[in-house]
Amino acid sequence: MTPVKCYPSKPEKVYFFGTCLIDLFYPEAGLDGIRLLEREGIEVVFPEDQTCCGQPAYTSGYQQEARAVAAAQLELFPEPWPIVVPSGSCGGMMRTHYPQLFAGSEREAQAKGVADRVFELTEFLVHVCHLRLEDRGEPEKVAMHTSCGARREMGLADTGPALLAQLGQVELVEQARAAECCGFGGTFAVRHPEVSAAMVEDKTQAIEATGARRFVTSDCGCMMNISGRFAHQKKPVKGEHIASYLWRRTS
C-alpha cells in the first residue's frame, strides 16, 4: 500500500522516462504518451541519455549493478519537474526501490527527490492533468490488464479504467481474476517458464472469455507476454499500450 500521494498542479514541463522495453519494442507507445501530454499544453523533455531503470538487475539480485544503472538515471532529472513513466513496473522501481537502493549512501537525498517526482502515465493524466477525453473511435469492447507494478507497488488500480471510462464508444469489460498477475515478472518468465506459461495461459483465456478482441495495458512487459501468447496461439485478440489506445481514439 503506497501512502496517499499529494498531487501537484499541472506543470509547464515534465520529464519523460520512456523505459527500455518501449524504447526497443514499442516506441510508438512512448511517443503517443508524449503526444497526450503535449496536447495538454505540457512541454515534454526526453533526456537523451536515459537507458533502463535497472529493474532487471535489481529483481535478479544483482544489487550493485542495479545501483550503478539507477545512479546513472538519477542524473537525468536535474530540474524539479515531474517525471512521467509509461509503465507501472518501471515507475514502481523508481518510486519505491530507488530510495531503498541508495539508503544510507550519498545519493540518498537525490534518489528520494527523484522518487517523489515519479508518476506513472495514467496516474499523471488523471490526477495531475485532469484529462478530459473525447472519443472519436468506433464502438468497441476492450479489456484492461493493470500491471502488478501499477496496481500494487504504485496503488494505481483505478487510473487506467478511469481514462477508458471517458471513451463514450468503448465498453470496458472486466476479465475474471483481473487483479491476478499475467506471469511475466521479468526474469521470472525465463527462470520458471512453465509456471509463467500457465499463468499467461489463464490470463489470455480470461481476456478472451470477455468477448473483447482488444486489451490494453499500461505496461509493455505484460503486453509482450499476453500478446505473445495470443499470437502464438494465432488468436485474434490484440494488445495495445493504453497511451496509444487513448491517442488513437481521441485524435
Partner 1 sequence: MSVQSDSVQTHPVQTYSPREFHRQAHDALGNPQIRANFRKAMDGLMTKRRDSFGDWDLEILRELGANIRMRALARLPSLLERLEANCQANGIQVHWAEDGDQACRIIRELCEARGAKAVIKGKSMVSEEMHLNARLEEAGIEALESDLGEYLVQLNEQTPSHIIMPAIHLNTDEISEIMHDRTGIERTRDVDTMTAAARAQLRERFMAADVGISGVNFAVAETGTLCLVENEGNGRMTTTVPPVHIAVTGIEKVVEHLRDVPPLYALLTRSATGQHVTTYFNMISGPRKPEEHDGPKEVHLVLVDSGRSAIYQDDELLDTLRCIRCGACMNHCPVYTRVGGHTYGTTYPGPIGSILSPHLMGLEDTKDLPTASSLCGACGEVCPVKIPIPDLLVRLRRESVGEGRGNVPGAGVKRSRKEAAAWKGFQWLATHPGVWRAGTSMAGKFRALTPSRLGAWTDYRSAPKPAGTTLHALVKQHEAKRHQADKAAEEKRP
Q: Which is nearer to partner 1, 59 or 166 (CB)?
A: 59
Q: Which of 190, 209, 211, 251 binds partner 1 (CB under 8 A)?
A: 190
Q: Which of 5, 10, 40, 72 binds partner 1 (CB under 8 A)?
A: 72
Show the cell assigned to 247.
491517442
Q: Which of 7, 8, 40, 60 binds partner 1 (CB under 8 A)?
A: 60
What DSSP line would sit under 124-173, residue for residue? Answer: IIIIIS-------S--EEEEEE--HIIIIIS--SSHHHHHHHT-TTEEEE
**What is the closest distance, in whole angstroms, from the C-beta atom of residue 208 to partner 1 in the complex?**
15
Q: Which is nearer to partner 1, 82 or 183 (CB)?
A: 183
**What is the closest distance, in whole angstroms, from the C-beta atom of residue 135 to partner 1 in the complex?**
24
Q: Does 157 interact with partner 1 (rule: CB under 8 A)? A: no
Binding mask 14-53 for partner 1 (x = CB under 8 A): ----x-x-xxxxxxx-xx--x-----------x-xxxxx-
Q: Which is nearer to partner 1, 98 or 167 (CB)?
A: 98
With beta carbons less than 8 A apart as the criterion, state whether 10 and 128 touch: yes
CA 16 – CA 77 distance, rounded (Å): 10
Q: Does 186 interact with partner 1 (rule: CB under 8 A)? A: yes
**What is the closest distance, in whole angstroms, from the C-beta atom of residue 169 to partner 1 in the complex?**
28
Q: Does 196 interact with partner 1 (rule: CB under 8 A)? A: yes
Q: Which stretch binds partner 1 (CB under 8 A): 109-117, 118-126, 136-144, 189-197?
A: 189-197
**What is the closest distance, in whole angstroms, from the C-beta atom of residue 94 to partner 1 in the complex?**
14
Give the CA-trace dihedral at 119, 10, 80, 99, to 10 degrees.
-20
Q: Does 93 interact with partner 1 (rule: CB under 8 A)? A: no
With beta carbons less than 8 A apart as the criterion, state whether 67 and 102 touch: yes
For the chain, percent helix, then strand, then coil, each to nearest 5?
50, 10, 40
Q: Which of 5, 7, 108, 188 binds partner 1 (CB under 8 A)?
A: 188
Q: Does 229 interact with partner 1 (rule: CB under 8 A)? A: yes
Q: Which of 39, 78, 100, 174 binds partner 1 (CB under 8 A)?
A: 100
HSE toward the beta carbon, residue 142, CA cutoff 13 A: 28
Of 113, 114, 129, nearest to 33 by C-alpha is: 129
Q: Which residue in this structure is represented by grid cell 523505459?
A: 19
Q: For 197, phi and psi rounded to 5 degrees? A: -65, -40
What DSSP line would sit under 49-67, residue for residue? Answer: T----SHHHHHTT-HHHHH
Q: Which residues form the interface with partner 1 (CB under 8 A)?
A: 1, 18, 20, 22-28, 30-31, 34, 46, 48-52, 54, 56-65, 68-69, 71-72, 100, 148, 151-153, 177, 179-181, 183-201, 224-225, 227-229, 231-232
